Chain A
Amino acid sequence: MHGKGLRGLSVATIVVLVGAFAVAAFYAPLDADQGFRQKIFYLHVPLAIVALVGFIVGGLLAIQHLRTREPIWDLRSYVAIHISLILGVAVLVTGAIWAKTSWGVWWLWDEPTLVSFLIVFLLYGTYTPMRFAIEDRERQARYASVFAITAGAFVPICFGAVRAQPQEVHPQTFGSGELPGPMWLTFLLCLAGMALLFYTLYRFEIATKLARGRLRSLRRQLLDDAPVQRRSAAPII
């Protein structure tokens, strides 16, 4: 009922993602400077882009929530931010591995791109504790939306301020015009796969939350034994 089309979406995600990584591993040319180590680019950069876009999408969905006051929009905003946070951990880990292999250090403070991602990640890290600290469901949803909109606007500002600075060693993905054709193609494939992965996870979590809410209301109606609501950071429909 809530999971319509999820099977096809999952299959498509697996096919595209595995295909894209296969292309990245076997077809894309080796980087002249970094060699095989550069391949993590096809994982790290799509992850980062999808996570950041997910944060912004969470803010846009929150705007919709404040306009309509429908709990479903709060749920959507929550799920988008939640999955982006998980991807954000992966971004930081893959970024650290890449930094270690190509620059020889795990972390580089001189790099505004790394630092601003960390700042954004730390900001969104407070999203769940903030929700958890508000008991009233309706107020929790409202406050979370205000947070999501503010933080969503903060993402481009933070990165925009960073782009204004001269960069030292972090590669500029866009606008440099240095990426040759096959690499671009592979990168776009990986980005599409990662976006599909995000969307699939998003749909799965929404379906789970909705099904759980439906089950709860059915139990309440039929058996009259709905479990006591515990305090939770996740919205309950």
Chain B
Amino acid sequence: MSVLAALLRKELRLELRTFESVPGMVLFSLTIFVVFHFGLDRASVEGDLAAGILVVTLLFAGMLGLNRLYVADEEQGGFDGFLLAPVDRTWLFVAKAIALFAYLVALEIVMVPAFALLLLEPGLGQALPELALVLALTNAGFAIIAALVGAIAVRTRARDLLGPLIALPLLVPVVIAAAGLLEPLLRETGAGGLDAKWLAILGLYDLVFGLLSVAVFDPLLED
């Protein structure tokens, strides 16, 4: 656990000192809202359209985080330093996933109110706890896939291309489930409840890919 705490401290300190990921993700998400506004030519959205825009924006802004996640380790010797330490390599995966989860939470703290302000018709007040739960599960799924795929992509020649290319199809089930869960929450006529089936699928996805990634992460860091 102390290994995890040390790695996590390093990740967050690095982000706080360089501000490489989160500000860019936030700015990108706001820009995407503007793009959606003009692309759809709508002043406000609700229901399934709002759910789709929120999930897609989160996904695309998160892709920036995925692409930056391991760059410092690859270019500035972070991998070498970590491999020299006599610790289990899987901790790096866990630390990266938790760090990215934290970045996504930071992103959402700005992005969701901005979405409510700019585009969302009914406002958010009615379903905030449910929204937080759905976003937390979505973040977890995204962070797990990104921490795994990012480690693969960063050591290839076309890293910025391959990361999103591999991660997006893997994340489609998350998108389907998250959009299905958010749709009733963002309705103009008042928030509906959460669909237990989608919640179960999202939770199961997080669990399965979390365990799987822990199992297969080790061979990615052998040289």
Q: Which of A66, A139, A161 contacts B155 (CB 8 A)?
A: A139
Q: Is the CB of B156 within 8 A of A164?
A: no
Our pick among A146, A153, A157 for the contact of B219 (Cβ within 8 Å) is A146
Whether B166 contacts A145 by the Cβ 8 Å rule is no
Of B155, B157, B197, B208, which one neighbours A143 at CB under 8 angstroms?
B155
Interface string of B139-156 (1 = CB under 8 A from A): 000000000100010011
Give B204-223 interface residues, CB cut-off 8 Å to A: 205, 208-209, 212-213, 216-217, 219-220, 222-223
Pairwise interchain contact B166-A147, C-beta atoms closer than 8 A? yes
CB neighbours (8 Å) of A130 from chain B are: 152, 156, 162, 166
Say whether A123 contacts B169, CB under 8 Å. yes
A146 touches B152 (CB 8 A): yes
The minimal Cβ–Cβ distance linking A105 to chain B, given in whole angstroms, is 21
Give the residues from 144 to 179 in chain B that come closer than 8 angstroms, CB to CB, to chain A. 148, 152, 155-158, 162, 165-166, 169-170, 172-173, 176-177
Q: How far is the CA of A142 from the CA of B152 in the complex (A)?
A: 10
**Residues from 135 to 170 in A contacting B, C-beta threshold 8 Å:** 135-136, 138-139, 142-143, 145-147, 149-151, 153-154, 157-158, 161, 164
Contact yes or no, A143 B165, CB < 8 A: no
Q: Are B170 and A154 in contact (CB under 8 A)?
A: yes
- Closest A residue, CB atoms, query B177: A161
Residues of chain A within 8 A (CB-CB) of B212 are 149-150, 153
Question: Is B208 within 8 A of A146, CB to CB?
Answer: no
Take A135-B157, A146-B216, A161-B176 as given contacts and tell me if A119 and B169 are in contact as well, using a CB distance cutoff of 8 Å. yes
Structural contact, A134 and B156, CB atoms closer than 8 A: yes
For residue B201, CB closer than 8 A to chain A, the reply is: yes
Whether A126 is near chain B, meaning CB under 8 Å from some CB there, is: yes
Q: How many A-B residue pairs have CB under 8 A?
A: 74
Q: Are A146 and B165 in contact (CB under 8 A)?
A: no
Contacts A133-B156, A157-B205, A164-B197 given: A146-B220 contact, CB under 8 Å?
yes
Note all chain A residues with C-beta closer than 8 A to B208. 153, 157
CA distance A157 to B141 in the complex (A): 14
Q: Say whether A129 faces chain B, with CB atoms less than 8 Å apart.
A: yes
Question: Whole-angstrom distance from the CB of B112 to the nearest CB of chain A?
Answer: 26
Q: Which residues of A contact B (CB under 8 A)?
A: 66, 119-120, 122-123, 126, 129-130, 133-136, 138-139, 142-143, 145-147, 149-151, 153-154, 157-158, 161, 164
Instruction: Give 24 A-B contacts (CB < 8 Å), ordered by A residue.
Output: A123-B166, A123-B169, A123-B170, A126-B166, A130-B166, A133-B156, A133-B157, A133-B162, A136-B223, A138-B223, A139-B155, A139-B222, A142-B222, A146-B148, A146-B216, A147-B166, A149-B216, A150-B170, A150-B216, A151-B170, A157-B173, A157-B208, A161-B177, A164-B197
**Residues of B with Cβ closer than 8 Å to A?**
148, 152, 155-158, 162, 165-166, 169-170, 172-173, 176-177, 197, 201, 205, 208-209, 212-213, 216-217, 219-220, 222-223
Given A138-B223, A158-B172: 15 more A-B contacts, CB < 8 Å: A66-B216, A123-B166, A126-B166, A133-B156, A133-B162, A135-B157, A139-B223, A143-B152, A145-B219, A146-B219, A150-B212, A151-B170, A153-B212, A154-B170, A161-B205
